[in-house]
Structure 1
Amino acid sequence: MIKLIVSDLDETLLGLDGSISDENIKAIKKAQKAGVKFVPNTGRGFSSVQGLLQKLGLKDQKEEFVISYNGGAIVENAGLKVVQTNELTFEQASEIYNIAMKVKDFDTHVYTLNDVYIYNPLQADLDYIETRGVRPIEYKEKDLKLLRNEKIMKVITMNPDFNRLAYMRDLVLKNVDFDLNVTFSSDRYTEFNKKGVDKGLATLELANRLGIKKDEIMAIGDNGNDLPMLSKVGLPIAVSNANDQAKKIAKHVTNGDYVNGVAEAINKFVLD
């Protein structure tokens, strides 16, 4: 019996314009009414998810949660109470930033606990993140000294060419002397998190807090940063627009895409 649903947002639950369909909303609310928890599990910060939580009836609710920053933070919706963080050290974040910001066909995001800073903002990226409710702060410094006292959750870079994403991954890993968790998302981002931090481990940590077993969890995703989540739960689901890796891990691939794939999975495995 499924007691917890964790779902990626962009291109899984949300459309290309950042919207959620009425069909998905209806299914999620039915699952909630049946006593099943629904937890967004996203690479984005929790502040950008508040509008979605409002639509789902989860905003400001006690014992309801969001997993943010690819598992970097677990936040209770009531009062935006930070339950757990797994951030990069300042030195680690600085090394990644110092490498990435020199590659001119990328922009670089630095996610602190409460804000997103962006170096060398590219218009295509600004257009995309605007639909996601992300409000970045332009950062023009050549180092991260101004953020020394902040919790830096992750550093990501953007380029729409997958070969360039892989290039950035390899460049950073070759030039740092510490381990990282590196994933790809939304067919445009290379994401750098602290080693051991991912959507899957955060899911299990939250489930343990809630007294829920891994076999009682359904996870829904579409892209590279969802793979740890899909591989660690009892029922991994990929929406039809997911990449081949996600589909390979999934026990079920929906007929629907981000418009109604989540609703399809809930109706089939939770409400049926």
Structure 2
Amino acid sequence: MIKLILSDLDETLLDDDGTINSQNITAVQKFVKNGGYFVPNTGRSYKSVFGTLKDLGLNKQSKQYVVSYNGGAIVEIHEDGGEKIIVQHGMDLELAKKIFSLGQIQADIDTHIYTIDTLFIYNISENDEQYMKERSVPYQEMADDNLDFLSNEKTIMKVIFEHRDPNVLQKISDTVNAQLSDKVLTTFSSNRYVEFNPKGSDKGSAGLELADMLGIPRNEVAALGDNLNDAAQIKAAGVGVAVANAKPEIKEMADLVLSKTNNEGAVAEFINEHIGK
């Protein structure tokens, strides 16, 4: 019986416009009411998930969990709004600077730097600005490319680059990995980002780390996703689940491929039709 669901957000739980299908809300509430844990497992900051937790009715749990930054942090959130970072896997400033510099392959590269509590964006694109707005993601724009200010900020979690041309994203990946492949884990997400975490930090290992804390064995853990940054959790979970709109590589590695897309209530399909069967 599945007791822990790790779910990606964008293009998995959320509709394309950033909202949540009402079927998903009803199904998640039923699953939690029956004693399960529904945990967002996202590349985003945990702070950007507060609205999603509220929409799902999970902000009223005595303890709710979020896995953020592609496994960079596990956060415990209390019903009074309090939060506690219980696990973090960050990177040092010098590594962040190297990734940032190598990724600037052309003038229109949009770059995100996540610390444990803040998203900083350099050279934000119009498309990315709209994407952030739709998902109510808070961020601070950087005035220039000098990253020295980060020495006064909290732990750096990851560096990612945004561009709508997949060839540009691949070129960034190749350029960074040519020098730093032994230090970074590279993933792609949302058909617009290439992401770099420190080696050893991924959605799968963090998801199982949380499961162990909760006393839940691997075979009672399910992970739902759609894109390449979900591969680690799809492989790690007892049941790896791909939504219908998932990339072919994710469908191939999943134990179960759903018939519904993110826009059709895929999470509800899994909870209602597959858990316990």
Please give the TM-score of this superposition, normalised by the length of structure 2: 0.95
Write out aligned runs for 1:246-257 (5 A).
246-257=250-261
CA–CA distance in 2 between the matches of 1:46 and 1:177? 27
Residue in 1 that maps onto 2:25: 25
CA–CA distance in 2 between the matches of 1:118 and 1:177? 24
Residue in 1 that maps onto 2:7: 7
Write out aligned runs for 1:172-251 (5 A).
172-176=176-180, 178-251=182-255
* Residue 116 (1) aligns with residue 119 (2): yes
CA–CA distance in 1 between the matches of 2:228 and 2:271? 22
1:107 maps to amino acid: D
2:207 maps to amino acid: T
Write out aligned runs for 1:74-223 (5 A).
74-78=74-78, 79-101=82-104, 103-150=106-153, 151-176=155-180, 178-223=182-227
Quick one: which of 257, 260, 268 aligns to 1:263?
Answer: 268
SS state at 1:118 partner: strand
1:2 maps to amino acid: I
Deviation at 1:209, TM superposition (A): 0.3
CA contact (8 A) 2:159 2:197 kept: yes
Deviation at 1:178, TM superposition (A): 4.3
Provide Cα deviations, 1:63-121, integer angstroms capped at 9, x if missing partner.
32000000001000111111111011111111111222353231000011111111111
SS state at 1:148 partner: helix
Deviation at 1:262, TM superposition (A): 0.6
Structure 1, unpaired ranges of 5+: none
CA contact (8 A) 1:180 1:195 kept: yes
Deviation at 1:173, TM superposition (A): 1.2
Provide Cα deviations, 1:194-247, integer angstroms capped at 9, x if missing partner.
100000000010000001111100110000100000000111110000001110
- More off after superposition, 16-25 vs 137-146: 137-146
Deviation at 1:16, TM superposition (A): 1.0
CA contact (8 A) 2:28 2:268 kept: yes
CA contact (8 A) 1:101 1:119 kept: no
CA–CA distance in 2 between the matches of 1:176 and 1:103? 19
Residue in 2 that maps onto 1:50: 50
- More off after superposition, 26-35 vs 99-108: 99-108
Residue in 2 that maps onto 1:66: 66
- More off after superposition, 254-263 vs 135-144: 135-144
Residue identity over aligned pairs, in percent, reads 45
Deviation at 1:61, TM superposition (A): 3.2
CA–CA distance in 2 between the matches of 1:269 and 1:34? 15
CA–CA distance in 2 between the matches of 1:181 and 1:60? 35
1:81 maps to amino acid: K
CA–CA distance in 2 between the matches of 1:105 and 1:214? 43
CA–CA distance in 2 between the matches of 1:82 and 1:72? 11
CA contact (8 A) 1:98 1:143 kept: no
CA–CA distance in 1 between the matches of 2:137 and 2:106? 23
Deviation at 1:140, TM superposition (A): 2.2
Structure 1 segments of 4 or more deviating over 6 A? none
CA–CA distance in 2 between the matches of 1:177 and 1:216? 33
SS state at 1:64 partner: strand
Deviation at 1:271, TM superposition (A): 5.8
Deviation at 1:60, TM superposition (A): 5.7
- More off after superposition, 42-51 vs 132-141: 132-141
